Amino acid sequence: MNARDAMKKIRNIGIIAHIDAGKTTTTERILFYTGRNYKMGEVHEGTATMDWMIQEQERGITITSAATKCHWLDCDINIIDTPGHVDFTAEVERSLRVLDGAVVVFCGVAGVQPQSETVWRQADKYGVPRLAFINKMDRVGACFKRSVQQIKERLRARPVPVNIPIGAEDRFRGHIDLVEMQACLWPADGDDDLGATFERGPIPAELQAEAQEARDFLLETLSAYNDEILEKYLEDQPIEAAVIRQTLRDATIKGKIVPVLAGAAFKNKGVQALLDAIAWYLPSPLDVPPVQGHHPKTQALIERTPDPQGPFTALVFKIATDPHVGKLVYIRVYSGTMKTGGQIFNVGRGSKERLGRLLQMHANQRQEIDKIQAGDIVAVVGLKKVATGDTLTDEDHPILLEAIRFPDTVISVAIEAANQAELAKLSQVLNALMEEDPTFRATIDEETGQTIISGMGELHLEVIVDRITRDFGVKATVGRPQVAYKEGIRAAARGEARHVKQTGGHGQYGHVIVQVEPLPRGKGFEFVDATKGNDIPRPFIKAIEQGARDALNDGVLAGYPVVDVKVTLLGGSSHEVDSSDLAFRIAAFEAVKDALLKASPVLLEPYMKVEIETPEQYMGDIIGNMQARRGKVVQVEMRNDIRIIDCQAPLSDMFGYSTQLRSLSQGRACFTMEVLHYDEVPDSVSEKILGGFGFRKPTPQAAAG
């Protein structure tokens, strides 16, 4: 088999879902049925292969994405099992950036949950074709049709069942294959071989009508994409399974439909059909569009097709620190072939390095390989100057792929080493963790000298601190969580500044007049040059824009970054000898600061989208508690006997909420939380926050005075 034919048999997929929908359990079954694992691991027992970190085993959740490879229906399947908790959403983001397809797992009881919507949007962003697996069909309250309807309504997708369940809850026995029109039944005593064998047979008489209705819907949908199916369906002629599968595959890869399957991974039912669907319907590297990038110098658009004979091109999507082999750099190869010891060029950094050992990963286990080629997802040992999002290529054919973008951190804590020796160790560990996790930040506060670590949520920082103290053995203490506030403005205002400095030879001269005005929330920064004539020579405009950006890095209230501001350059003056980039950058910095003081500056705080699932009897207490936390209830929905409360609440008032929610509901309610937007802090709260910093809110009069 030549290299290109081999690529047709590769499937690079991710397993994505809301927390606790059953991603890792599904992956464990996949590894067992494909023969990759001889024993089935369980999340609740802490024995899941893919949850190998001690923190994952203790908490029973996935924290870091884990990669593995298995074989099914003559296909090599590279799988990345991703976290479901919103604090670790960056792991999903970077995995989807390099994957060709995804399996989205839904809970058959809860259906589409908040994080299901988040991961679906991420998959839309990268144009990733996907399958839907309605899991937990054996649970009380499971409903396949309701879950399919929610995928259609909430995710605005076009779900098409390719099998439907036989029974539900404790009567769930298997499924009906709508392509072959056969029933797949697991024996009642199937625990002997852990669901590895099942029987195919005729559809039970009582389910014939339902199966035919579902089959008609499948064929009607596919007839829009294949004239042969349309013709045969209208004439009531038999349609070959191969034609149906090929059309399903084409429509799925184009993102027109989402094939839906039913199962119960924990009860070992339906996973083999999911594996078949991965091989049949999800794309190979040859089926996805060529990867696009830019030439680092000319900025010309370049496309790289997935060709093993083409120029080597790979993207670094993850870095992990392994105690045995050091830094592991995970890469997705888009084009070309490279052997161990081959030289690669890091385009963004302009540096050359040699590939050390090449490893095929199976969670935290490693298998050495001697070469990599287009379509592969592997780990590399031996690269030193490299970061997440870097492009690795052949030096003669450089291309810069689009880097992976990550959200800003919203929560911080101070961390302090026990002594001077531990401080040096802490510094090394923090640098290693920042390399691993792009949503983790460590900085030193210039005023207090404290080390501040920032992340995406309480759980994120809790896990980071646990790794620092336990995995890396650093003795350190941690302060209380702090919110990552920002600053904004309420009004438009003008500012002016001259930077004049006379020294022996050439002096410095820059004179800038600007106007600042608020932008709608979430719009960021905008710079407009409105100067006319030759007041300020063109070459200095870029320096003025940079000075404006510098001024917004730390605000006039409490030194937080200023967001959602438009800066317009109105005018100024220059000196033909003394003007320079530096002089105009400093003048712009001072002018923008001057304008910000007059523009009614205001403190902004992150507001969270909170969704609470609770039995009805606790709803009153939970809503009352949410209102006491400055939260606003947006809507209340009923699903079965559970109430879903959608709220918006400031992050600063949500610390410790999980503990309080447990006590309010006797442990029966649960919640999810993700960043919604930044909004103004009420004056009464703002006074307390700014008072803690020793700041008083400036007034335009005081600023002018």
Residue numbers belonging to the annotated binding site for GTP: 17-24, 81-85, 135-138
For the sheet with 525-529, list strands across it: 493-501, 508-518, 565-573, 525-529
From residue 320, alpha-carbon distances to 89, 285, 367, 381 in Å are 17, 25, 16, 10
SS3 690: helix
Residue corresponding to tokens 């994505």: 16
Token reading at 393: 């290529």
CB 573 within 8 A of CB 616: no
Amino acid present at 191 = D
The whole-angstrom separation of Cα 618 and Cα 288 is 49
What's the 3-state SS for 256-302? Answer: CCEEEEECEHHHCECHHHHHHHHHHHCCCCCCCCCEEEECCCCCCEE
Bridge pairing between strands 358-362 and 258-262:
unpaired
Q: What is the dihedral of CA 62, 68, 72, 75, to 10 degrees?
A: 130
Q: Which residues are annotated as a binding site?
A: 17-24, 81-85, 135-138
**177-183, long-range: CB within 8 Å, 24+ apart, which pairs?**
177/273, 178/211, 178/214, 178/215, 178/218, 179/218, 179/241, 179/244, 179/245, 179/248, 180/241, 181/211, 181/215, 183/207
Tokens 């609740």 appear where? 44
CA atoms within a 13 Å half-sphere pointing along the CA-CB vector of 378? 25
Q: Is 472 helix (H, G, I), strand (E, B) or coil?
A: coil
Q: How buried is residue 592: exposed, middle or buried, by Cβ count under 10 Å (0-12/13-18/19+)?
A: buried
Q: List the structure tokens of 41.
A: 């691991």
